[in-house]
Amino acid sequence: METKLIKIESKKDFNKLTEAAEALADGALVAFPTETVYGLGANALNENAVSEIFKAKGRPSDNPLIVHIFDIGQVEMLAEEIKPCAKALMEKFWPGPLTVIVKRKECVPDCVTAGLDTVAIRMPSNEVAIKLLKLSGVPVAAPSANTSGKPSPTKASHVYSDLNGKIPYIIDGGASKVGLESTVIDTTEDEPKILRPGGITKKQIEEVIGSVLYDPALSDPSKTPKAPGMKYKHYAPKAELTVILGEKATEEAQKLCKVSMEENIKTGVICCENEEIFADFIIKCGNSAEKYAAGLFAALREMDDLGAERIYAVLPFDGDGIETAIRNRIFKAAAGRIVRC
Ligand code: AMP
Ligand code: MG
According to DSSP, the residues that pair with 303 across neighbouring strands are none
Q: Is the pLDDT of residue 322 over 80?
A: yes
Give the nearest ligand 1 atom to 118 CA: 19
Give the nearest ligand 1 atom to 36 CA: 4
Q: Is 205 helix (H, G, I), strand (E, B) or coil?
A: helix
Q: Is the pLDDT of residue 233 over 70?
A: no
pLDDT score for 230: 79
Q: 101: part of which helix (H) or strand (E)?
A: strand 98-104
Average pLDDT over residues 226-248: 86
Q: Is the pLDDT of residue 300 over 90?
A: yes
pLDDT class of 336 with cuts at 50, 70, 90: confident
Cα(18)–Cα(290) distance, integer angstroms? 33
Phi, psi of 239 (to 5 degrees): -70, 160
Average pLDDT over residues 256-275: 97
Å from CA of 146 to ligand 2 middle: 7
Peptide bond preceding 84 in cis form (omega within 30 of 0) = no
Does 151 contact ligand 1 (Cβ within 6 A)?
no
Q: Is 328 helix (H, G, I), strand (E, B) or coil?
A: helix
Q: Is the pLDDT of residue 255 over 80?
A: yes
Where do the H-state alpha helices sit in the chain? 18-25, 47-57, 75-78, 84-93, 110-113, 127-136, 156-163, 202-209, 249-262, 289-306, 322-334
Give the nearest ligand 1 atom to 144 CA: 3
Does 227 contact ligand 1 (Cβ within 6 A)?
yes
Cα(145)–Cα(157) distance, integer angstroms? 11
Q: Is the pLDDT of residue 214 over 90?
A: yes
Does 64 contact ligand 1 (Cβ within 6 A)?
yes
Q: How far is CA 27 from CA 39, 131, 139, 164, 263, in A?
A: 16, 18, 12, 18, 51
Residue among 40, 50, 66, 117 whose CB has most ligand 1 atoms within 8 A, to mutate = 66
Q: How many CA atoms lie within 13 A of 244 on its CB side?
A: 21
Q: Is the pLDDT of residue 154 over 90?
A: yes
Q: Is the pLDDT of residue 234 over 70?
A: no
pLDDT score for 191: 95
pLDDT class of 160 with cuts at 50, 70, 90: very high
Å from CA of 178 to ligand 2 middle: 15
CATH number of the structural domain 4-218: 3.90.870.10
Q: Is the pLDDT of residue 318 over 90?
A: no
Q: In sequence order, which residues have a C-beta less than 8 Å from that of residue 146 and are 6 or more positions away?
A: 37, 38, 57, 152, 153, 158, 159, 162, 163
Question: In the predicted model, what is the mean pLDDT of the chain?
Answer: 96
Q: Atom 5 in ligand 1: which residue has the minimum CA distance?
A: 143
Q: Is the pLDDT of residue 106 over 70?
A: yes
Per-residue pLDDT tens for 18-73? 999 999 999 999 999 999 999 999 999 999 999 999 999 999 899 999 999 999 99
Closest CA to 299 of 279, 324, 318, 320: 279
Closest CA to 281 of 327, 237, 215: 237
Q: How far is CA 41 from CA 2, 32, 71, 74, 93, in A?
A: 17, 7, 17, 17, 22
pTM for the model: 0.96
Does 141 contact ligand 1 (Cβ within 6 A)?
no
Q: Is 196 helix (H, G, I), strand (E, B) or coil?
A: strand
Task: State which amino acid sits at residue 288.
Answer: S
Å from CA of 212 to ligand 1 middle: 19
According to DSSP, the residues that pair with 339 across neighbouring strands are 244
pLDDT score for 99: 98
Q: Which ligand is nearest to the CA of 226?
A: 1
Give the nearest ligand 1 atom to 184 CA: 8
Percent of all residues in the chain with a pLDDT value above 90, rounded to a whole number = 89
Domain boundaries, the chain: 4-218, 240-340
pLDDT score for 66: 98
Q: Atom 22 in ligand 1: which residue has the minimum CA distance?
A: 227
Closest CA to 174 of 235, 129, 215, 204: 129
Looking at domain 240-340, its CATH superfamily turns out to be: Threonylcarbamoyl-AMP synthase, C-terminal domain (3.40.50.11030)
Q: Is the pLDDT of residue 235 over 90?
A: no
Cα(66)–Cα(84) distance, integer angstroms? 21
Å from CA of 231 to ligand 1 middle: 11
When mean pLDDT is compared across 65-69, 125-129, 156-160, 331-335, the lowest value belongs to 331-335
Average pLDDT over residues 95-123: 97
